[in-house]
Chains A and B, each alone.
Chain A
Amino acid sequence: MFSQVTALTPTLTLSRAAGEGVNTVKLHMSQWEIVIGLETHTQLTTVSKIFSGSSTAFGAAPNTQASVVDLALPGALPVMNKGAVERAVKFGLAVGATINQRSIFARKNYFYPDLPKGYQISQFETPIVSGGGLTITLDDGSSKYIELTRAHLEEDAGKSVHEQFDGASGVDLNRAGTPLLEIVTEPVMRSGKEAIAYAKTLHNLVRYLDICDGNMQDGSFRCDVNVSVRPLGQKEFGTRREIKNLNSFKFMQQAIDFEVRWQIAEIEDGRKIQQATVLFNPDTGETKAMRSKEDAMDYRYFPDPDLPPLVVSDEMLARIKASMPELPEAKCARFSSEYGLSHYDALLLSQDGAMASYFETAVKAGGDAKLVANWMLGELSAALNREDKSIEQSPVNAVRLSNLVARIVDGTINHKTAKTVFEALWSGEAASVDAVIEAKGLKQISDSGAIEKIVDEVLAKSAAQIADYKAGKEKALMSIVGMVMKASAGKANPAQANAIVKRKIDAL
């Protein structure tokens, strides 16, 4: 989806921001190990807030979805949304984590105008989900298990706008109290690529589970990335800096790349890294410290007296377990075993819920599984990418692709003419596969008499190629078959054409 950023090279030259010291330095990238951990805030898909009955719909006019609880009016008490609990449990089950059937809400205390209570309700010592993990697949096909530390429920804060008013900030509390599941990994990633692969896998999973809409632009899926570096071979972690609120995979890659180089340059220049929270500026491609350790936050967590322990009953746990959809990993294994797909194809088709369902719909409609997979990963993906469409928006639906594949299998059309049919379906020229074949006269010629006639005509003009073939040049045969296909306007059955050409030449 996003263009790849140049990979880190062992030694590189880098320009640093003004005021950051020398302008150009040589870094010894290969002598350093990168350590990355992620904290992801996923907004849950409930229709109402975590502790109040206000709507969570995005984009409403300011403060029209803020109730007494969200505004922290005196005496207003939080009441827990069952839907948020169920989604957290669903996630925990999907990643093989421990579901803590008794978890505690805590107050995280800090002052900011968009947090009217003066604390955020979160979970601290006892989160609802502990442990578990996700398997990520990297571009080179290798895979790695990323351990999760925890996932806990919390409420989002409101939103402040600073530009709209003279000398004042505006506060909109529509987002205050929106349910979030914060998913935290162990510091186990060793490159920006692994971090991106993890973020994408998690993004796929939460959408698969239908617990988060995954909309990054609207802030439904936000990543904080903890980055540190240490000399290769050192056991202790270096001091980390946290890049806050990355809302695209592209920015995440850029921010990590910049941050890693910055940290290495600092240390190689003899300076120490100060623990800090940093922000990424997409315009400059640089990260910049927001606050340093000196005035580090002290949140003074304590159990929220308004909210007794959250208990997930055995009954609720069993019910959610029974409702779990098939997970990407299991689906991938099944696509391999049930349909005979290669692991790679199965992986590509199972990672995205919409792709997987398109594939199965096409196969159930009678399409040969391997051919459907080839067409989806070939022509269809190329066309979708070209027009920046999602598979749900594909002009060629699963049943039509299945019909197309069926006409290849039954010999009506060959692969080459099938592409013409596909293009016609894509552009909306015709509504059905058979209509296109009929209208364009693409029906494959499988009548051996007709093909023999074309072969005879071609052979009569191909003395040189025949001589070459007789002299042992196998390629000459292919060139003759090619001419036969061309003479038939691509409609001859290629296998038959091949056999007839060979038989006739050998008989000469």
Chain B
Amino acid sequence: MSLTPQDIERIAHLARIRVTPADVADVQVKLDGIFKLIDEMQAVDTTGVEPMSHGLDMVLRLRDDAVTEINRRDVFLKNAPESADGYFLVPKVIE
């Protein structure tokens, strides 16, 4: 399959990655290459192979339901460019 410039713009928007119009053609070639690789893998005969969701044959480890974390807000807020009254501040989100 081959991607269109519109596909590139949509994918970039969904991933919140800025792709300038000048870069679209370049990104398109690279992504097309990935899709070609996927096409090649699709061609492998997997008859009789049970589908897997993960590469490793592992099972999820479960922990007991208990509170093990303490309040470390002050340390964490230091990571943020802006904070106030215990909140992380972000540019105003308007719905």
Contact = CB atoms under 8 A, between A and B. Distances in A.
Interface string B65-95: 1111101110011010010111111111111
A113 B80 CA distance: 13
Contacts of A300: 14
B59 A309 contact: yes
Given A80-B61, A303-B54, A55 B67 contact: yes
A308 interface: yes
B93 A79 contact: no
A63 interface: yes
Contacts of B84: 165, 168, 170
Contacts of B55: 305
A171 B60 contact: no
Interface residues on A, range: 35 or more
B64 to A, nearest CB: 6
B60 A309 contact: yes
A84 B63 CA distance: 10
A64 B64 CA distance: 21
Interface stretch (A46-54, A419-427, A494-502): A46-54
Contact of A169 (B64, B79, B91): B91
B42 interface: no
A303 B90 contact: no
Interface in A278-306: 290, 298, 300, 303, 305
A311 B57 CA distance: 12
A307 B61 CA distance: 9
B87 A311 contact: no
A71 B78 CA distance: 13
20 contacts: A48-B67, A48-B68, A61-B86, A63-B88, A81-B65, A82-B63, A109-B14, A113-B90, A126-B53, A160-B93, A165-B84, A170-B88, A170-B89, A171-B90, A303-B54, A305-B54, A308-B56, A309-B59, A309-B60, A310-B59
Given A63-B86, A66-B73, A303-B53, A46 B14 contact: no
B16 interface: yes
A164 B85 CA distance: 10
B63 A171 contact: no
A28 B93 CA distance: 41
B74 to A, nearest CB: 10
Contact of A81 (B14, B62, B93): B62
Contact of B87 (A126, A171, A290, A310): A171
A22 to B, nearest CB: 28
A126 B54 CA distance: 13
Contacts of A84: 65
